[in-house]
Structure 1
């Protein structure tokens, strides 16, 4: 048996083996279906949750990474050794069929709503079908890998809803909506469970925003979604670059930031609460004020502790007193030469509370940028939007039969039945899930699902620019 406890330098090859990218018990399922089974059909849906609509995103990443490379004989040998030692049967004949008769490519058809679509919950977002009698069970074997699309969808959904919140306050208090894509900055890389999570979740956030310090997320968005540069960042201080100067030289540390990065049109962010935020604000507004003005850049102050709502208002008022502000056409004050970035305790609730408090105090949303970390990429799970992938139809011999679950102990886990598709109303934009063959008002409803993958071939390769356009098409 191959050594399954080998070093991390070999883990990438293990992760790329689709036979192992599953749950243990699925290895035995090929023996559990009716003997006459010849095809299967499954679907993915959000069964409700925190938000009543989800923004579909991330399937293209999963397909490109895991399904577009062929299964090999070596992968079969590796998986066989693992499962037999692990206590599970192994369908060697089925996997040899995939390699020898299918060229290693899984004979599976995946259909999905276009990425960037915003769809009400309780609808089929993805369907997976395998009509090859030799390996029909693939339609459920892939559940473990494919259902992980819940993660980018949930991140993208949360960011989309946060964009709506921020946009509403900009519309109410600002003269400039063009700043919206940079109002919520991703600082989630250090707070996630893995590099892959940073890449996938970081990319998902970029459907709605263009500011990120999660390098792997930007790289993933560029790579998987055909983008030259999906997001941007600016020079920013962290506590180590300030405190390394010592408390007595904090002003020198601040001055160094302006000297190094304060250029006309540039933005420089400086954390200012290492010791005494209010003393630091006084220094910025007196001793360093002229240096900030002479630089021609925009100074962004980061208070990083305390009650967010209270601290943001105190910071704004202190900066207003020293740098001044102008009243815009909405009757709100916009600070001159300075802004605030709030990155501590930022979540959907605190964003709303801070913006509401600013508006009540007469400050435009222009004055603040939010930096979001763990709450953006990590403080969600599959149950946030109650994602599930279920088998809904099976072909026994030549006849398709509906399949569903309907537990008396939890009606919320009731699944849909039949071979499903998603339709969209051409006139109203309304979505509905129906069974095949499609029945309904002809001419008004059209199929919203497209075939994105078939037997190893990626059939749709969408760009991030197109996804963004679709996701925000309704903004006015």
Structure 2
């Protein structure tokens, strides 16, 4: 237990939350450096725009308040001496922060509002020291601050899937009312830790309101003032069906109907034979119960969980249509009765959604009949290079002289960095990063969100969601 307590303390020590080589960087800058200014951007990647989200979590979790203490400095001194085999740690610099700033970090961070959707290759936030003696601190914090890549990329991935679903709803459904619940987060168990599940789960909830990742709703609750960001329903897993035995499969389904007589209820139905389950059980032996349950507002959501998603979805819809009947909506697409729906939770990703929804459209089915669940592809099948996220120094002051800093590798022009002080502005309706201090401060979208240990802008989850909403949805909302 003592070991666990010690590890917990170390993991909360901001002095230890950096890459090893950064511990030595205070010795490497030019003499008389007084300012280091760096920025973060998506240099390109899979998606042409990014949803900026998650910086506020990092700031509140790690940087707000007196985060430097005597105990943390002593701990860092001992660990880094053993780690490097000699004294390289900037004990003097951290003591200065403790003694002159009360343990508050003398840096200023400007960022775009969380939830803003910005084309890649634009500045998203900047960092600079506010005390000339702490010039080394700006990039010491890079390791931690760059981890915003994860919530940002999950939110981006989720929003692009929302665009696909919205497109097909617009083409095949009467309205977009069901959109917020069309992509459900199944990713908790596939995440690398509870913390990553919380961060990624909250990022998905920027765009949708369905989740089984409780850590995500707790993260939004604690760091973005959202009492309840996501919702779920009673649902079966294979163990709660297969423990009844193959011969008791229909009894397992009947038990679900009896135990959850009202509201939405999802039941995995492919433990043995999905076609038989839809045809002879749900659409046969249990049909009257399903219909009767519907009279009380109950909705049975049948979940296939194996096979080729597009093929399985169409066949399940066809069987259920034959058993329960179909109607056509105002756009001429087939709808199951309102008390029967399906959720496809296997093989769902940005790449597979269009295939499934296009197949439904070709076969005359409205996309309003289906919801999707996504796990690994939503929260895990991404990395920092998905959006090519990078944090680079672009401006310094050395010997009182301002210097615009940049890199331009001859071997990779994509890695060319920006120069000087930056601002993000909208010019002719398009986002543009203005370099070398030539921006108009009145037009700069970057806001001071953190300065000298204090959080100066506290975004609510409601604000984040509003900023990230699809333009088509915003237009429908304004029209109504």
TM-score normalized by structure 2?
Answer: 0.95
State whether residues 65 and 454 of structure 2, in contact with CA within 8 Å, keep that contact through their aligned partners in structure 1.
no
Task: Map Cα deviations across residues 5-37 of structure 1 (whole Å, 9 max, x no partner).
Answer: 963344332221110000001000000000110
Q: Structure 2 unaligned runs (5+)?
A: 476-480
CA 1:276–1:174: 2 relative to 1, 3 Å: same
Question: Does the 8 Å contact 1:271/1:302 carry over to 2?
Answer: yes
CA contact (8 A) 1:262 1:298 kept: no
Alignment match of 1:278 (pick from 272, 275, 279): 275
Task: Indicate yes or no: 2:291 matched with 1:293.
Answer: yes
Aligned residue for 2:168? 169
From 444, 448, 451, the counterpart of 1:451: 448
* Aligned-residue offset at 1:293: 1.2
Distance in 2 (CA, whole Å) between partners of 1:437 and 1:24 is: 32
**What is the CA-CA distance between 1:278 and the residue it aligns to?**
1.1
Q: Does the CA-based 8 Å contact 2:111-2:446 persist in structure 1?
A: yes
Do the aligned residues in 2 keep the contact of 1:162 with 1:348 (CA within 8 Å)? yes
Corresponding residue for residue 392 of structure 2: 390
- The residue that corresponds to 1:322 in the other structure is 323
- 2:14 maps to 18
- The Cα of 1:302 is off from its aligned counterpart by 0.5
- Superposition RMSD on alpha carbons, in Å? 1.4
For 1:66 and 1:117, locate their aligned partners in 2 and report how far apart those are by CA, in whole Å. 23
Q: 2:350 and 2:2 mapped to 1: Cα distance? A: 42
Instruction: Tell me which protein shows more helix as a share of its residues.
Output: 2
Contact 2:333 2:364 in 1 (8 A): yes
CA apart distance, 1:437? 3.6
User: C-alpha displacement at 1:255, in angstroms?
Assistant: 0.5
Distance 1:208 1:439 in 2: 31
Distance 1:106 1:373 in 2: 37
Determine if contact 2:130/2:452 at 8 Å carries over to the other structure.
no
Question: 8 Å contact 2:163–2:470 — kept in the other structure?
Answer: no
Distance (whole Å) between structure 2 residues aligned to residue 437 and residue 47 of structure 1: 20
Look up the match of 1:433.
433
**Aligned residue pair count:** 465
**Residues 30 and 6 (structure 1 numbering): CA distance in 2 closer, same or farther, change over 3 Å?**
farther
State the Cα deviation string for residues 210-240 of structure 1 (Å, max 9, x = none).
0000000111011111111101000000001
Separation in 1, partners of 2:9, 2:364 = 57
CA positional deviation for 1:276: 1.0
3-state SS, counterpart of residue 285 of structure 2: coil
Structure 1 residue runs without a partner (length 5+)? none
Question: What is the CA–CA distance in structure 1 between the aligned matches of 2:395 and 2:381, rounded to whole Å?
Answer: 34
Single out whichever of 393-402 and 310-319 deviates more from structure 2: 393-402
Q: 1:436 offset after TM fit, Å?
A: 5.3
The 5 Å alignment of 1:120-269 reads 120-263=119-262, 266-269=263-266
**Hey, what's the Cα distance between the residues in 2 that align with 1:121 and 1:147?**
15
Change (3 A) 1:334 1:11: farther
Secondary structure of the structure 2 residue equivalent to 1:177: coil
Which one of 461, 464, 470 corresponds to residue 464 of structure 1?
461
Match of 1:34 among 23, 30, 49: 30
Secondary structure at the counterpart of residue 230 of structure 1:
coil
Query: Shift of the alpha carbon at 1:135?
Result: 1.3
Partner of 1:345: 347
1:117 pairs with 2:116: yes
Pick from 82, 86, 91 the counterpart of residue 83 of structure 2: 86
Structure 2 distance, partners of 1:439, 1:113, is: 15
**Residues 262 and 292, structure 1, Cα contact 8 Å, conserved in 2:** no
Per-residue CA deviation, residues 436-464 of structure 1 (Å, 9 max, x unaligned), is: 54346x9xx71110000001100011111
Q: Which of 60, 72, 80 pairs up with 1:75?
A: 72
Contact 1:38 1:131 in 2 (8 A): no
- Give 1:406's aligned residue: 408
Equivalent-residue separation in structure 1 for 2:435 and 2:408 (angstroms): 18
For the residue of structure 2 that corresponds to 1:201, the secondary structure is helix
